[in-house]
């Protein structure tokens, strides 16, 4: 065995230099013969006789050459190589079938590999941290809204101090607005997004700095030295990957700060924690009395101690939470302690767990699709093998062994699926490249989507398995028949029976699978349509939004005048219809999470009747510019100012909660110890997503409260908003050169982003379903064509005996319809089960939605009958005389 292995490299090499070795060997044999003839002649033999004897002793050069080749090379490989060449030749002759087969396998494997790459990135590949399986997310309470899962500084410290299961607890503040910070100096002013993180945050994740360092303890104190760490991408884009960036001074919102480090390229904070929102700069979040007083400011991440598991950490966290619950309201670190109900989940589950169901649904669909591809290809190869029966029989008669024939047929199907797999990988490579470049999708880890070695390996495996699956049936059939039977009999025959049963079963499966895919796609399309029909509570068309809050570039008492001027200037821009300001953009990512305690004035003392609505601080133009319907009363006016009567507007949800029995307008509410008169009731705005019902909302006039930080300007235009953007930008830039206006979005972009995931899933599934429908139709076409060609004589005979062409056609169609209905009978219940399992993906549509079912049946049945009608017409056109003569 060992000596065999020793020869392996030489034998492999011999395959590639075969011709040279042949020549060499021929020459050697010639030399041998010449020497032998010389010797024999010297012994006195005549030349002819010497030659004869020398040849006799040496052996036949042809046979020696053959044995030599087998000895030096790898005969199996060479034979397979020959089979491959032969397969390529025959497949090239059959170019229509080959192209089609490679195309469907390519599409199938390409789609499967793409879906798998996404699954790989979102669910399987470890997060780019050290021992990521040990990292946990510590939510506060059960809300699914990130902003409401945050905890207070003292509670982070309590967690850190009391937990035995966690080796460390760190946090970042999710309450940053995109473009919160003005970066000035070094090129034009730019709004950048800065995230505050605690001292050990990056170390806890196990992310090593690419350059420089992270924060030190004396930088993580209130009013400590201003320092910043850059994200890798931002370092490249803004600082041109300057290797000496560490130590450089920059100005952040007017204050000087020093760059101390750069994050590695492998860690994209936003991709993991805040998909869709870039994070460019990181600054320290001090755990001090001042930040403690700010309340629940931190999203917590922890690392399990070696030996501890998630369940133990969870149980312990609940205990710690209970202990803290008893101390709520106490004064610690100069502030009131907030409630804290820690809930521990793995970081992976927090980051991408919510995509699991949708991805599994996609995986299942793509699996069905690959099944369809296999069924189709298998069908194709079966009919091909039927037509090649005579060729095979002749080869058998000429001495081809059964294993050789099986190998030949298998090699052929491997050549098909292999080339298909290669096309598929290329397709997947392009598709993942496009996916990974998408921005503003809100889907985490999308930038990590790529065809990696595992995906490529899985695709190769899929190609091999497919090749085996589709090749095995024809291969076994090919060798099962004795050649004399086939050759004796004419090309058609009674052979079709069991083969036909297999083919019919395959078609039934195809119809069923196509039905499941179509139904799934139909339900998703209907869901998406329903969702897009949802009234978001404002009119998103022709509205653009721009961050305009001045940061620290404008003195505090000058801010109202600054806003007034912005509004005036933009209103003067051509094609601008209305302008408004808000601190909470719907479907945006600002401070729309903020809830305050509010009570009807008459029940102000009754704690149980307080409500916690979301707070929106808006100017007098906002409600009109967004076209938020005013249900009663009025919107704000410029007179709702300070000094002036404190007023508020409630949405209808809050109005119903506060005054279940009556009119809200004119009533008084208490907000932050200020009594305000309700002047209007407006419709609810779906702030967090079109599929979430509007929550309670309370609007406060911007002229009466300064309690806002992020402010967006919304501009309704009378033309396509993209056309108005340059003018708006120019107007703002002329008045406020330091105001960065790089990020201008339309509200429609925000709506699109909020439904991106659903739209992508729907689009994908619709594509799958279309492909599946095509495959099912082609499968039906192939089967019926084959059946018609096999039954030519029968039809001819029937026609000769008086059957009309239309009767022949009808009998063929009847078979088709029977097959489709069997397929539908299996497919529809399966589709219903699948839809029930994936109910979370549906919006406002029942799993057994009648509209969907009826359309699926109609589309599937008509397409399939259409596909079957072509060969059945051929049957009807048959000339009985010609067909019977052909015998």
Partner 1 sequence: MPSSKTDILQGTLDLMVLQALDALGPMHGYGLALRIEQVCAEALRINQGTIYLCLVRLVQQGWVRASWGSSENNRRAKFYAITAAGRRHLADETANWARISGAIQRLLLLGPNS
| Residue 48: CB minimum distance to partner 1, A | 20
Q: In 3-state terms, the chain is what percent helix, strand and coil (to 5)? A: 55, 15, 30
Nearer to partner 1, 7 or 213 (CB): 7
What span, in angstroms and rounded, lies between the C-alpha atoms of 720 and 192? 27
Extract the tokens encoding 768.
């799958």
Closest CA to 712 of 277, 177, 195: 177
| Residue 5: CB minimum distance to partner 1, A | 10
The residues that touch partner 1, with contacts defined as CB under 8 A, are 1, 3-4, 6-7, 10-11, 14, 24-25, 27-29, 31-32, 34-36, 38, 56-59, 61, 64, 67-68, 71-72
Quick count: other Cβ atoms within 10 Å of Cβ 633?
Answer: 18
Per-residue b or e along 354-388, where b marks 16 or more CB atoms closer than 10 Å to that residue's CB: ebeebbebbbbbbebbbbbbbbbbbbbbbbbbbeb
Nearer to partner 1, 70 or 323 (CB): 70
DSSP string computed for 761-788: HHHHHHHHHHHHHHHHHHHHHHHHHHHH
By CB atoms closer than 10 A (0-12, 13-18, 19+), residue 854 is exposed
| Residue 27: CB minimum distance to partner 1, A | 8
What span, in angstroms and rounded, lies between the C-alpha atoms of 16 and 81? 12
Check: CB of residue 328 under 8 Å from CB of residue 338.
Answer: yes
| Residue 432: CB minimum distance to partner 1, A | 44
| Residue 7: CB minimum distance to partner 1, A | 4
Nearer to partner 1, 61 or 689 (CB): 61
Nearer to partner 1, 36 or 332 (CB): 36
Extract the tokens encoding 227.
């320092």
Nearer to partner 1, 61 or 629 (CB): 61
| Residue 47: CB minimum distance to partner 1, A | 16
Instruction: Look at strands 255-262 and 227-230 and give their pairing.
Output: parallel
| Residue 64: CB minimum distance to partner 1, A | 4
DSSP string computed for 580-625: EEESS-TTSSSSTT-B--EEEGGGTT-GGG-B--EEEEE-TTHHHH
- CA distances to 6, 488, 512, 792 from 860, in Å: 60, 42, 10, 28
What span, in angstroms and rounded, lies between the C-alpha atoms of 687 and 685? 6
R_g over Cα of the chain: 38
Three-state DSSP at 680 gives strand
Nearer to partner 1, 55 or 472 (CB): 55
Nearer to partner 1, 31 or 572 (CB): 31
Nearer to partner 1, 73 or 586 (CB): 73
| Residue 8: CB minimum distance to partner 1, A | 9
What sign does the dihedral 236-237-243-245 (CA atoms) show? negative
| Residue 74: CB minimum distance to partner 1, A | 11
| Helices within 43-164 (DSSP H only) | 47-58, 61-72, 75-93, 95-119, 153-162
Nearer to partner 1, 31 or 454 (CB): 31
| Residue 72: CB minimum distance to partner 1, A | 5
Three-state DSSP at 168 gives strand
Nearer to partner 1, 28 or 663 (CB): 28
Quick count: other Cβ atoms within 10 Å of Cβ 21?
Answer: 17
Closest CA to 618 of 725, 688, 710, 721: 710
Q: Which residues are paired to 172 by β-bridges?
A: 197, 299
The one-character DSSP state at 280 is: -
| Residue 445: CB minimum distance to partner 1, A | 50
Nearer to partner 1, 31 or 265 (CB): 31
| Residue 75: CB minimum distance to partner 1, A | 13
Three-state DSSP at 136 gives strand
Nearer to partner 1, 5 or 734 (CB): 5
| Residue 400: CB minimum distance to partner 1, A | 24
| Residue 115: CB minimum distance to partner 1, A | 44
* Cis status of the peptide bond prior to 643, with omega within 30 of 0: yes
The one-character DSSP state at 298 is: B
Nearer to partner 1, 58 or 851 (CB): 58
Nearer to partner 1, 75 or 644 (CB): 75
Three-state DSSP at 343 gives strand
* Dihedral-angle region of residue 179 (phi above 0 means left; psi in -120 to 50 means alpha; beta otherwise): left
Nearer to partner 1, 32 or 874 (CB): 32
| Residue 2: CB minimum distance to partner 1, A | 10
| Residue 476: CB minimum distance to partner 1, A | 29
Nearer to partner 1, 67 or 437 (CB): 67
Check: CB of residue 163 under 8 Å from CB of residue 344.
Answer: no
Quick count: other Cβ atoms within 10 Å of Cβ 419?
Answer: 18
């Amino acid at each position: 065995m060992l000596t065999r292995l020793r020869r392996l490299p030489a034998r492999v090499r011999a395959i590639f230099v075969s011709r040279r070795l042949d020549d060499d060997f021929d020459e050697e044999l010639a030399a041998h013969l010449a020497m032998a003839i010389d010797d024999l002649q010297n012994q006195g033999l005549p030349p002819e006789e010497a030659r004869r004897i020398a040849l006799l002793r040496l052996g036949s050069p042809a046979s020696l050459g053959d044995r030599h080749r087998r000895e030096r090379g790898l005969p199996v490989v060479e034979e397979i190589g020959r089979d491959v060449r032969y397969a390529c030749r025959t497949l090239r002759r059959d170019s229509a079938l080959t192209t089609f087969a490679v195309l469907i396998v390519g599409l199938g494997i390409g789609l499967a590999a793409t879906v798998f790459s996404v699954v790989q990135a979102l669910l399987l590949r470890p997060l780019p941290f050290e021992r990521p399986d040990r990292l946990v997310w510590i939510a506060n309470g059960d809300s699914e809204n990130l902003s409401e899962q945050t905890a207070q500084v003292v509670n982070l410290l309590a967690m850190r101090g009391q937990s035995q299961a966690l080796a460390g607890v760190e946090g970042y503040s999710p309450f940053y607005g995109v473009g919160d910070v003005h970066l000035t100096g070094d090129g034009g002013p730019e709004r950048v997004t800065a995230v505050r993180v605690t001292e050990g945050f990056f170390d806890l994740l196990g992310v090593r700095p690419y350059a420089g360092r992270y924060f030190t303890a004396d930088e993580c104190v209130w009013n400590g030295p201003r320092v910043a760490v850059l994200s890798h991408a931002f370092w490249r884009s803004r600082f041109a990957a300057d290797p000496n960036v560490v130590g450089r001074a920059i100005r952040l919102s007017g204050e000087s700060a020093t760059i101390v480090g750069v994050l590695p390229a492998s860690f994209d904070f936003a991709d993991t924690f805040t998909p869709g929102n870039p994070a460019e700069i990181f600054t320290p979040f001090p755990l001090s009395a001042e930040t403690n007083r700010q309340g629940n400011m931190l999203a917590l991440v922890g690392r399990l101690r070696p030996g501890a598991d998630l369940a133990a950490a969870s149980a312990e966290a609940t205990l710690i939470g209970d202990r803290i619950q008893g101390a709520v309201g106490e004064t610690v670190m100069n502030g009131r302690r907030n409630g804290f109900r820690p809930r521990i989940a793995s970081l992976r589950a927090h980051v991408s767990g919510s995509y699991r169901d949708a991805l599994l649904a996609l995986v299942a669909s793509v699996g069905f699709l690959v099944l369809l591809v296999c069924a189709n290809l298998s069908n194709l190869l079966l009919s091909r093998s039927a037509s090649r029966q005579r060729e095979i029989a002749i080869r058998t008669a000429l001495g081809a062994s059964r294993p050789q024939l099986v190998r030949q047929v298998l090699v052929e199907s491997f050549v098909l699926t292999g080339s298909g797999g290669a096309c598929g990988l290329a397709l997947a490579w392009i598709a993942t490249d496009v996916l990974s470049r998408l921005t503003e999708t809100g889907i985490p880890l999308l930038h990590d989507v790529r065809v990696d070695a595992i995906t490529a390996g899985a695709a190769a495996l899929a190609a091999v398995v497919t090749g085996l699956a589709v090749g095995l049936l024809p291969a076994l059939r090919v060798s099962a028949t004795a050649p004399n039977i086939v050759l004796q009999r004419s090309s058609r025959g009674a052979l079709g029976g069991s083969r036909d049963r297999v083919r019919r079963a395959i078609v039934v499966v195809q119809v069923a699978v196509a039905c499941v895919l179509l139904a799934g796609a139909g339900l998703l399309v209907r869901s998406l349509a329903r969702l897009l029909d949802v009234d978001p509570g404002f009119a998103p068309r022709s509205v653009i939004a721009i961050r305009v809050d001045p940061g620290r570039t404008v003195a505090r008492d000058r801010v109202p005048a600054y806003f007034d001027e912005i509004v005036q200037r933009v209103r003067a821009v051509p094609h601008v219809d209305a302008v408004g300001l808000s601190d909470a953009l719907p479907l945006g990512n600002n401070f729309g999470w903020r809830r305050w305690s509010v009570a009807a004035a008459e029940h102000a003392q009754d704690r149980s009747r307080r409500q916690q609505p979301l707070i929106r601080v808006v100017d007098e133009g906002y409600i009109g510019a967004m076209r938020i319907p005013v249900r009663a009363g009025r919107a704000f006016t410029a007179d709702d100012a300070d000094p002036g009567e404190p007023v508020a507007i409630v949405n209808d949800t809050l109005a119903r909660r506060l005054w279940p029995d009556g009119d809200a307008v004119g009533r008084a509410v208490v907000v932050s110890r200020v009594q305000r008169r309700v002047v209007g009731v407006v419709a609810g705005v779906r702030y967090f997503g079109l599929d979430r019902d509007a929550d309670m909302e309370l609007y406060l006039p911007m002229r009466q409260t300064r309690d806002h930080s992020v402010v967006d300007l919304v501009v309704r235009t009378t033309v396509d908003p993209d056309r108005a953007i340059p003018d708006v930008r120019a107007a703002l830039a002329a008045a406020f050169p330091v105001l960065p206006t790089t990020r201008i979005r339309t509200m429609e972009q925000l709506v699109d982003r909020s439904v991106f995931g659903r739209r992508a899933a729907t689009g994908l599934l619709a594509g799958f379903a279309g492909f599946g429908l095509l495959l099912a139709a082609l499968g039906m076409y192939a089967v019926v064509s084959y059946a018609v060609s096999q039954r030519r004589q029968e039809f001819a005979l029937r026609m000769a005996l008086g059957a009309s062409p239309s009767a022949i056609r009808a009998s063929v169609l009847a078979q088709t319809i029977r097959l489709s209905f069997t397929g539908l009978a299996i497919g529809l219940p399966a589709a219903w089960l699948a839809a029930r399992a994936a109910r979370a993906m549906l919006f406002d549509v029942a799993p057994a939605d009648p509209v969907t079912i009826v359309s699926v049946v109609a589309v599937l049945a008509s397409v399939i009958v259409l596909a079957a009608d072509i060969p059945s017409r051929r049957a009807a056109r048959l000339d009985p005389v010609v067909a019977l003569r052909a015998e």
